[in-house]
Amino acid sequence: MTQAETSGSSRERLGFQAEVKQLLDLMIHSLYSNREIFLRELVSNASDACDKLRFEALHNPGLFEDDPDLAIRIECDAAARTVTVTDNGIGMSRDEVIANLGTIAKSGTREFFARLSGDERSDATLIGQFGVGFYSSFIVADRVTVETRRAGESVAQGVRWTSDGAGEFEVETMERAARGTAVTLHLRDEHAELASGSRLRAIVRRYSDHIVQPILMKKLDWKDGSEVALAEDEQVNRASALWARPKAEISDDEYREFYKHVGHDFDDPLGWTHARVEGRQEYTLLLYVPAHAPFDLWDRGARHGVKLYVRRVFIMDDAEKLLPSYLRFVRGIVDSGDLPLNVSREILQESKDIEAIRAGATRKLLDLLAHLAADEKDRYAAFWREFGRVLKEGVGEDGANRERIAALLRFASTQADGDAETVSLAEYVARMKPAQRRIYYVTADSRSAARSSPHLEIFRAKGIEVLLLGDRVDEWVVGHLAEFEGRPLASVARGGLDAEEIGESAEAQKDQAAESEALEPVVQRLKASLGERVKDVRVTKRLTESPACLVADEHDPSANLARILKAAGQPGPQWQPILEINPSHPMIARLVPDAPDFDAWASVLFDQALLAEGGQLDDPAAFVKRINQLMLSPAT
């Protein structure tokens, strides 16, 4: 931030952070047709400010000064073309004003801006996901003034902030008797119609009815066809906690608007669950699944989105103990009837009550997801695309709900088109072959690498479905999910093949035994030649096209996992695969144990098998040299 001008009167002119400038530009252009939302955003901020004051005042009642009734006020002046939203909430200090209204503090901001394409239509949907907040004022205003004083500070510590949204803003210290914040919009010519009491009322009722503080406006009268504001105030919203009302009385639109407030989201949610739980613990929860992943979903310190209330009093944002980490994308509120009002984060860490609430909330959410998966497949597919990778973490994290989470998983498979993850374990089990006992999968670096793995050859030939796992987290999933509905999960790249299970006839098995015996000298010679690089060499039925492949021994980590561990710098045991060779492949048929180039063939076979399953060669140049040497040697 540059400080362009400082005068003696504490007035500073400062530049917006570059991203704010971009955001303002984009918003003014792309949200023009949604311009009414500025009011929702300002009222939402005012409401949060009142919540924060009420919470801080639990420990410091003096913050209420002599004005304990929290409220939000909306006024307009048609002649001056202004709209003002005032709250008597927590307010902001000068430093807070500069930080909050000059920069964007969200994590993922840079990534977000990198994703913008310059195409207004697609950028407009992105901006919705990012959240618009205070800056949406500039959609309708060409100048915005904020006057604020933090609760508990002296009257002399008021602050005025003004900007035309073009790139800079001014802040100065001022005297301000009233606690809290007043935001005044100077409307652009073309939005002058918004400076109307009846127009603003309609917007408040549509978007902000659920706000818990009263929203006050001047009563209206009509004279000669135009409105006249009277001196008295009236409350224009219902001002009751939405979640405390009976479900039957709440419309879907009300649920959606409330989500936009608690979730700081511009888009509708995918679904929600609202429940009042009675018993040992009494609480109400209203939890939402967003339609889009937030930008900080993968940040270690990502915000959790559940607010904690105690008997309708806001206690804290980001109450990370209320849901497990694999549900960190959920937004909403939990209102406890039992916790003490002075509950702190430290107390929450230890609290048995919170554990009970967390278990209940988790179940409700998993129920909601199960319901979407069963009855609203498209929505569930959208959910899975956005959050599937996060939900997968739950398989390892939440043993108590493992089966329920397993039922929600979706996979790519050899029997589904494309790389989209659409197959559930239940569907897989329903399609299993009569003799098949296990659920087969292959893990690799990516789904397309998984799809072309040589380990799939026999399964393809026999029409046995294999799940294609290409995410890093998938190794963790299969590591924790030993079985589903009593069927063990099995990697196609580990252990021996069960001939009966894949439907090999007794005759074919006999043939294979004979083939193995015939190849025994080759097998022995390969073992001697490859030495430490392999744990074993054996003849396989696994392959129909490739000459050889590598598999892990029954209890060893898969090659993919070994690579992940190595890349993460974790010391693992030396990975030693088993080399399996395809007896019907012409390349195997031409291996002669005492040929002079046998060692070169053995190395090439091994390296090829390693490459085919996504591994890396220790010495690629030597590999190339050997290939060239073999290509030049006369056919034997």
| Contacts with ligand ADP, residue ranges (CB under 6 A) | 41, 45-46, 49, 87, 89-92, 100, 131, 133-135, 181, 264
* Cβ 451 vs Cβ 469: under 8 Å: no
Beta carbon of residue 375, minimum distance to ligand ADP (angstroms, whole number): 33
Instruction: Tell me whether residue 100 or residue 576 sits nearer to ligand ADP (CB atom).
Output: 100
* Cβ 587 vs Cβ 519: under 8 Å: no
3-class secondary structure, 317: coil
Instruction: Tell me whether residue 134 or residue 598 sits nearer to ligand ADP (CB atom).
Output: 134
Beta carbon of residue 134, minimum distance to ligand ADP (angstroms, whole number): 4
Beta carbon of residue 131, minimum distance to ligand ADP (angstroms, whole number): 5
Beta carbon of residue 85, minimum distance to ligand ADP (angstroms, whole number): 8
SS (H, E, C) 414-462: CCCCCCCCCECHHHHHHCCCCCCCCEEEEECCCHHHHHCCHHHHHHHHH
Beta carbon of residue 317, minimum distance to ligand ADP (angstroms, whole number): 10
Instruction: Tell me whether residue 308 or residue 357 sits nearer to ligand ADP (CB atom).
Output: 308
| DSSP annotation of 333 | E
Cα–Cα distance for residue pair 313/212, rounded to 1 Å: 10
Cα–Cα distance for residue pair 444/450, rounded to 1 Å: 5
- Give the number of other CB atoms < 10 A from CB of residue 634: 4
Q: Which amino acid is located at 170 in the chain?
A: E
Cα–Cα distance for residue pair 256/259, rounded to 1 Å: 5
Angle, to 10 degrees, between the axis of helix 37-59 and the axis of helix 252-262? 60
Instruction: Tell me whether residue 53 or residue 372 sits nearer to ligand ADP (CB atom).
Output: 53
Closest residue by beta carbon to ligand ADP? 133
Beta carbon of residue 481, minimum distance to ligand ADP (angstroms, whole number): 37
* Cβ 447 vs Cβ 369: under 8 Å: no
Instruction: Tell me whether residue 92 or residue 215 sits nearer to ligand ADP (CB atom).
Output: 92
Q: Would you list the DSSP string of 281-298?
A: S-EEEEEEE-SS--TTTT
Q: Would you list the DSSP string of 447-509?
A: HHHHHT-GGGHHHHHHT---EEE-SHHHHHHHHH--EETTEEEEETTBS---TTTTT--HHHH
Instruction: Tell me whether residue 131 or residue 394 sits nearer to ligand ADP (CB atom).
Output: 131
| Cross-strand bridge partners of residue 289 | 271
Q: Which amino acid is located at 26 in the chain?
A: L
Nearest to 245 by CA among 286, 205, 280, 214: 286
Beta carbon of residue 72, minimum distance to ligand ADP (angstroms, whole number): 9
The Cα diameter of the chain in Å comes to: 110
Beta carbon of residue 128, minimum distance to ligand ADP (angstroms, whole number): 13
Cα–Cα distance for residue pair 12/3, rounded to 1 Å: 7
* Cβ 310 vs Cβ 351: under 8 Å: no
Beta carbon of residue 19, minimum distance to ligand ADP (angstroms, whole number): 12
Phi and psi for 493 in degrees, rounded to 5?
-110, 20
Beta carbon of residue 496, minimum distance to ligand ADP (angstroms, whole number): 57
- Give the number of other CB atoms < 10 A from CB of residue 4: 11
Instruction: Tell me whether residue 208 or residue 424 sits nearer to ligand ADP (CB atom).
Output: 208
Instruction: Tell me whether residue 44 or residue 546 sits nearer to ligand ADP (CB atom).
Output: 44
- Reported as type and span, the H/E element at residue 510 is helix 506-530
Beta carbon of residue 26, minimum distance to ligand ADP (angstroms, whole number): 14
Cα–Cα distance for residue pair 531/508, rounded to 1 Å: 31
Beta carbon of residue 400, minimum distance to ligand ADP (angstroms, whole number): 34
* Cβ 581 vs Cβ 526: under 8 Å: yes
Beta carbon of residue 80, minimum distance to ligand ADP (angstroms, whole number): 21
3-class secondary structure, 407: helix
Instruction: Tell me whether residue 91 or residue 128 sits nearer to ligand ADP (CB atom).
Output: 91
Residue 221, classified by CB atoms within 10 Å of its CB into exposed (0-12), middle (13-18) or buried (19+), is exposed
Instruction: Tell me whether residue 42 or residue 534 sits nearer to ligand ADP (CB atom).
Output: 42
Token pair 């510590």 is found at: 157
Instruction: Tell me whether residue 217 or residue 523 sits nearer to ligand ADP (CB atom).
Output: 217
Beta carbon of residue 101, minimum distance to ligand ADP (angstroms, whole number): 6
E strand segments, 201-269: 215-223, 226-235
